[in-house]
Structure 1
Amino acid sequence: MRHVIALDVGGTGMKAALVGADGSLLYEARRETGRARGPEAVVEAVLAFAGELAEEGARRFGEPPAAAGVAVPGIVDEARGTAVFSANIGWRDVPFRALLGERLGVPVALGHDLRCGGLAEGRLGAAHGVDRFLFIALGTGIAAGIGIEGRIEPGAGGASGEIGHIVVRPGGIPCGCGQRGCLERYASASAVGLAWARAGGGPGATAADCARAVRAGDEAAGAVWQQAVDILADGLLTALTLLDPAAIVVGGGLAEAGDTLFVPLREAVGERIAFQNRPEIVPARLGDTAGCLGAGLLAWDLLAGSAGRDHTRRTEVTA
Structure 2
Amino acid sequence: MRHVIALDVGGTAMKAALIALDGTLLYEERRATGRERGPEAVVEAVIGLAEDLSARGRSRFGTAAEAVGVAVPGIVDARRGVAVHSANLGWCDVPLGESLSRRLGGTPVAVGHDVRAGGLAEGRLGAGRGSGRFLFVSLGTGIAGALGIDGGVEAGARGCAGEIGHVVVRPGGPACGCGGRGCLEALASAAAVGRAWAAASGDPSADAADCARAVDAGDEAASAVWRTAVDALADGLVTAVTVLDPGTLIIGGGLAEAGDTLLVPLRAAVAERVTFQKLPAIVPAALGDAAGCQGAGLLARDLLATAAAV
TM-score by length of structure 2 reads: 0.97
Return the letter of the residue paired with 1:304.
Answer: A
Kindly state the Cα deviation for residue 173 of structure 1 after the two structures are TM-superposed: 1.3
1:46-57 map, 5 Å? 46-57=46-57
Q: Secondary structure at the match of 2:168?
A: coil
Q: Deviations over 1:12-53 (max 9, x none)?
A: 111000011222221000110101111111111111110100
Distance 2:274 2:22 in 1: 38
Kindly state the Cα deviation for residue 144 of structure 1 after the two structures are TM-superposed: 0.3
Kindly state the Cα deviation for residue 72 of structure 1 after the two structures are TM-superposed: 1.1
> Which deviates more, 152-161 or 89-98?
89-98
Kindly state the Cα deviation for residue 196 of structure 1 after the two structures are TM-superposed: 1.1
The question of whether the paired residues in 2 share the 8 Å contact of 1:201 and 1:210 is answered with no
The question of whether the paired residues in 2 share the 8 Å contact of 1:201 and 1:209 is answered with no
1:102-121 map, 5 Å? 102-105=102-105, 106-121=107-122
Structure 1 residues 249 and 201 mapped into 2: Cα distance closer, same or farther (>3 Å)? farther
Q: Secondary structure at the match of 2:14?
A: strand
Kindly state the Cα deviation for residue 194 of structure 1 after the two structures are TM-superposed: 1.1
Distance 1:306 1:148 in 2: 21
Provide the residue aligned with 1:248 in structure 2.
Answer: 249
Kindly state the Cα deviation for residue 176 of structure 1 after the two structures are TM-superposed: 2.2
Q: Deviations over 1:188-230 (max 9, x none)?
A: 1111111111212521210100000011111111111111111
Provide the residue aligned with 1:188 in structure 2.
Answer: 189
Provide the residue aligned with 1:260 in structure 2.
Answer: 261
Q: Secondary structure at the match of 2:100?
A: helix
The question of whether the paired residues in 2 share the 8 Å contact of 1:135 and 1:147 is answered with yes
Provide the residue aligned with 2:14 in structure 1.
Answer: 14
Distance 2:92 2:139 in 1: 26
Q: Does structure 1 residue 77 correspond to structure 2 residue 77?
A: yes
Structure 1 residues 306 and 201 mapped into 2: Cα distance closer, same or farther (>3 Å)? farther
Provide the identity percentage. Answer: 69
Q: Deviations over 1:238-294 (max 9, x none)?
A: 000000000011111100000100111111111111111111111111111111111
Q: Deviations over 1:129-160 (max 9, x none)?
A: 11100000001111100111221111111111
Distance 2:153 2:131 in 1: 12
The question of whether the paired residues in 2 share the 8 Å contact of 1:125 and 1:284 is answered with yes
1:239-318 map, 5 Å? 239-305=240-306
Return the letter of the residue paired with 2:61.
Answer: F
* Structure 1 unaligned residues grouped into runs of 5+: 310-319
Q: Secondary structure at the match of 1:147?
A: strand
Distance 2:230 2:86 in 1: 29
Q: Deviations over 1:37-71 (max 9, x none)?
A: 11111111111110100111112211111111111
Distance 1:2 1:307 in 2: 14
> Which deviates more, 131-140 or 220-229?
220-229
Q: Secondary structure at the match of 2:161?
A: coil
Distance 2:28 2:287 in 1: 14
Structure 1 residues 187 and 72 mapped into 2: Cα distance closer, same or farther (>3 Å)? same
1:224-239 map, 5 Å? 224-239=225-240
Distance 1:220 1:192 in 2: 12
Distance 2:24 2:246 in 1: 27
- The RMSD of aligned alpha carbons is 1.3
Q: Which runs of 4 or more aligned residues in structure 1 lie more than 3 Å from their structure 2 counterparts after TM superposition?
A: 306-309
Distance 2:66 2:184 in 1: 41
Provide the residue aligned with 2:144 in structure 1.
Answer: 143
Return the letter of the residue paired with 1:160.
Answer: A
Provide the residue aligned with 1:132 in structure 2.
Answer: 133
> How many positions carry a matched residue from both structures?
309
Q: Secondary structure at the match of 1:305?
A: helix
> Which deviates more, 29-38 or 92-101?
92-101
Q: Does structure 1 residue 95 correspond to structure 2 residue 95?
A: yes
Q: Does structure 1 residue 123 correspond to structure 2 residue 124?
A: yes
